[in-house]
Amino acid sequence: MSHVKELANRSTHGLRVASRPVVTGASHTFPAIRTTQADLWEGFFREHYAGKPMARRIFENSGISTRSTAVDPRTEKAVSTWSTGQRMSRYITEALPLGKEAVAGALAAAGLAPEDVGLLAVASCTGYTTPGLDLRLADELGMSSRVQRLFIGHMGCYAAIPALGSVSDFVASRGRPAVLLCLELTSLHVQPPTEDLEQVVAHALFADAAAAVVVEPDAGGGHEVVDVVAITDHSTADLMSWEITDLGFRMGLSPKVPDVLAQHVVEMVRDQLLAPHGLTPADVGGWAVHPGGKRILEVVGDRLRLPDDALRPSYDVLDECGNCSSPTVLMVLERMPRTDRPIVAMAFGPGLTLYAALLRRP
């Protein structure tokens, strides 16, 4: 496209002028299998956990009504015994068409062709293969052989925010469009029966999805990515984990996680993200918070003193889709009501790590 070439070549005294990275297109998609939380419990997890009342209550109180999955444990009941190799083989089979649909949808929303893309970044923590999903997608979509690629792996639920920061840095410095895809297939990692309630919580929360965004230089519409910040509490690193085992990837998820978030979320949002731009939480017009669970959303709303309806998009995504790991915060962003005020996107994950981004209309 001519305007892309002009921006890429723009310079002042021989130096490239930084572009404003603007999100101009977004899309998300799900695997074909869609089930209710009640059906998943009755059809598989009730027997899996021998009908234990505590496991049933965790499923019933998850705040989730429906979920989409690539693997249906009701019909593929042996999934918890699959080797990691079997799960990785299934990953690429399921991920490629899902990722292709999400990226194609985001490009169409932005009005760009695949050959316009300067960088394709893929974030995923639920599957690995070489040649990677990024390379295979670039080929399937017809991107240039010169497109740059970046794979961001094993960061967990918060990966979308640092990935968006990296993509935005590329757009700002290179003056070319970029695409970010977040894709997770957590249903591949059903674990064998256990007394560990952390595993029950993980099985009650997580689902599958793919979400993509297009970021363009100096675009007039969409939302500019203004800033990205992070806090990691190294003293609590053992409270959330994602361990590779011989039977897939195993989640560690302590009930203490919301308490740790409560200690840091105000400092990160108010002091690190908003204050340097002369803003306060009252100036924010939209809150796209990763719905890691009901308690996490309650803590964020309480600590930041948000209005009752401020986190409605996050609660709705949790209810209708479950926690889809890295794509989830991008799905919440798509539901933000139109506003000319700044938007804050937040996500949390292993580390224990908090990430936040500030977006606003150009």
pLDDT score at 208: 98
pLDDT at residue 51 in the model: 87
* Global pTM value: 0.94
Task: Give the three-class secondary structure for 1.
Answer: coil
Ramachandran sector of residue 265 (left: φ over 0; alpha: ψ -120 to 50; beta: rest): alpha
Active site residue 157: yes
The H-or-E segment that residue 27 falls in is strand 21-29
Q: Tell me which CATH code domain 2-217 carries.
A: 3.40.47.10
Q: What confidence score (pLDDT) does residue 12 get?
A: 45
The verdict on whether omega for the bond into residue 352 sits within 30 degrees of 0, i.e. cis, is: yes
One-letter amino acid of 298: E
Instruction: Quote the pLDDT of residue 205.
Output: 97
Predicted local distance difference test score (pLDDT) of residue 16? 67
Quick one: pLDDT at residue 9?
A: 42
Calpha distance 362→54 (Å, rounded): 49
Q: Domain map of the chain by residue range?
A: 2-217, 223-360
Q: What is the DSSP string of 120-179?
A: EEEEESS---SS-HHHHHHHHHT--TT-EEEEEES-GGGTHHHHHHHHHHHHHHH---EE
Overall fold of domain 223-360: Peroxisomal Thiolase; Chain A, domain 1 (3.40.47)
* Active-site position among 157, 182, 321, 324: 157
Q: What is the pLDDT along the chain (362 residues), one digit of tens a residue?
A: 333 334 444 444 455 678 999 999 999 999 999 999 999 999 999 999 998 999 999 999 999 999 999 999 999 999 999 999 999 999 999 999 999 999 999 999 999 999 999 999 999 999 999 999 999 999 999 999 999 999 999 999 999 999 999 999 999 999 999 999 999 999 999 999 998 999 999 999 999 999 999 999 999 889 999 999 999 999 999 999 999 999 999 999 999 999 999 999 999 999 999 999 999 999 999 999 999 999 999 999 999 999 989 999 999 999 999 999 999 999 999 999 889 999 999 999 998 999 999 999 98
Looking at residue 15, its pLDDT comes to 57
180, 167 in Cβ contact below 8 A? yes
**Other Cβ atoms within 10 Å of 146 Cβ, number:** 7
Q: By the 8 A CB rule, do 269 and 344 touch?
A: yes
